[in-house]
Amino acid sequence: MTAIVPIQQGTLSLAAMHLRGGGLVAMPTETVYGLACNAANPDAVVRLYEAKGRPRFNPLIAHVASMEIAEQEAVFSDQAREIAAKFWPGPLTMVLPVAPTGTVSDIARAGLDTIALRMPAHPGALAMLRTFGKPLVAPSANRSGHVSPTTAQHVKADLDGKVDLILDGGPCERGIESTIVSFIGERPVLLRAGALETSILNEALGGTLVVRGEDDGISAPGQLKSHYAPNAHLRPNADAPEPGEGWLGFGSSPIPGTNLSEAGDLREAAKNLFAALRTLDAGFDRIAVAHIPNEGLGEAINDRLARAAHRD
Ligand code: AMP
Ligand code: MG
């Protein structure tokens, strides 16, 4: 049994002790709950991959609490630094060349000479990072491929007994994963649509963001075709449920069921998405989902729904 404890000074110290000993601690971020371990400890990172059942070729995001630590881990171009200044702390992950002074273990980077870095905005995550003092890798705290957790209880449902401590900071504000942008090539490339709207990122990049097509290969597992999946069969873009289907609605509608946002607010829908999928998954073998407009955060929501619907 893993304990769920509120984030406070005492529990942060306890968590830091676990982390220093190579343990695993789940913590809230503004996107989803992360499963954190010492990024510099290869044994801890192996434990983390095993607890999630995550394939080792799938590298992890390292989380930092300051630009000083970020610059120790990665080489920032002027443009990358400008983007970090604009969007950090926040739901943006930047893929950059590893710095010679980097401490994040090879295995956390899946052997790549690049590193994915993020400074989360959640005060609890920042407090955890500051208390620990060094980068933490923190992929979503769920079984690999399953629905991402947006509450401490979701984490427990997936990983009870496999993690040392779950820090509870309430439901996640954003509810979907970070946007991932790569600064490795000549132009910045969007690797995963996420909680920072693509259009806002592109505008900050002066319209230079490259948004790749489906067939360009997998460089982020958010790009695996089947991911974020409930057990139930999912039918996105539906007009109404068929007999036996659970209904996940959006906007005002007379159809009974669960609703992502009665007001038709995409931000609220993103925040509710994974919890709604978990709730419906517990009651139905099949789930029909209403049409979600493919604009703003709708892009990231539809991306998650398409992958949740895909069967290999
Ligand atoms: P998750 O932590 O499960 O949200 O996934 C982290 C995402 O960051 C995955 O899609 C990784 O593939 C991606 N990622 C981590 N490191 C790199 C890297 N060096 N290059 C490209 N993508 C990365
Ligand atoms: Mg994940």
pLDDT of 280 strictly over 70: yes
Ligand 2: centre distance to CA 221 (Å): 8
The crossing angle, in degrees rounded to 10, of helices 298-309 and 266-283 is 20
**Quick one: DSSP state of residue 122?**
-
In angstroms, rounded to a whole number, what is the distance separating the alpha carbons of residues 60 and 107? Answer: 9
**99-120 pLDDT, tens per residue?**
999 999 999 999 999 999 999 9
What's the rounded Cα separation, in Å, for the pair 28 and 40? Answer: 21
**Ligand 1 close to Cβ of residue 179 (< 6 A):** no
> Where is pLDDT greater, at 223 or 69?
69
Condensed to tens digits (0 to 9), the pLDDT of residues 247-257 reads 999 999 999 99
Region for 282 from its dihedrals, namely left if φ exceeds 0, alpha if ψ lies in -120 to 50, beta otherwise: alpha
Q: Is the peptide bond before 28 cis (omega within 30 degrees of 0)?
A: no
Q: Binning pLDDT at 50, 70 and 90, where does residue 229 land?
A: confident
| Any atom of ligand 1 within 6 Å of the Cβ of 139 | yes
Ligand nearest to the CA of 227: 2
Residue 163 has pLDDT above 70, yes or no: yes
pLDDT band at 228; cut points 50, 70, 90: confident
Q: What mean pLDDT do residues 20-43 have? A: 98
pLDDT at 266: 97
- Residue 113, both tokens: 């000479």
Mean pLDDT over each residue of the chain, to the nearest integer: 94
Q: How far is the CA of 237 from the centre of ligand 2 (A)?
A: 23
Report the percent of the chain where pLDDT is more than 90: 89
Q: Is the pLDDT of residue 220 over 60?
A: no
- Which atom of ligand 1 is the closest one to the Cα of 192? 10
Q: Is the shortest distance between the CB of 25 and ligand 1 below 6 Å?
A: no
Q: Which of 83-92, 227-236, 278-287 has the lowest mean pLDDT?
A: 227-236
Bridge partners for 36 per DSSP: 25
Of 60, 117, 143, 224, the one to substitute when testing ligand 1's pocket (max ligand atoms within 8 A of C-beta) is: 60
Over the stretch 59-71, which tens digit does the pLDDT of each residue have? Answer: 999 999 999 999 9
**Buried/exposed 289-308: b ≥16 CB within 10 Å, e otherwise:** bbebeeeebbbbbbbbbbbb
Nearest CA to ligand 1 atom 12: 220
* Dist. CA 20–CA 284, nearest whole Å: 42
Radius of gyration (C-alpha) of the chain in whole angstroms:
19
pLDDT classification of 212: cutoffs 50, 70, 90? confident
Record the pTM: 0.91
How far CA 79 is from CA of 84, 156, 207, in Å, comes to 9, 40, 13
As a dihedral over the C-alpha atoms of residue 217, residue 223, residue 226, residue 229, rounded to 10 degrees, the angle is 170
Please write the tens of the pLDDT for every residue from 124-156. Answer: 999 999 999 999 999 999 999 899 999 999 999
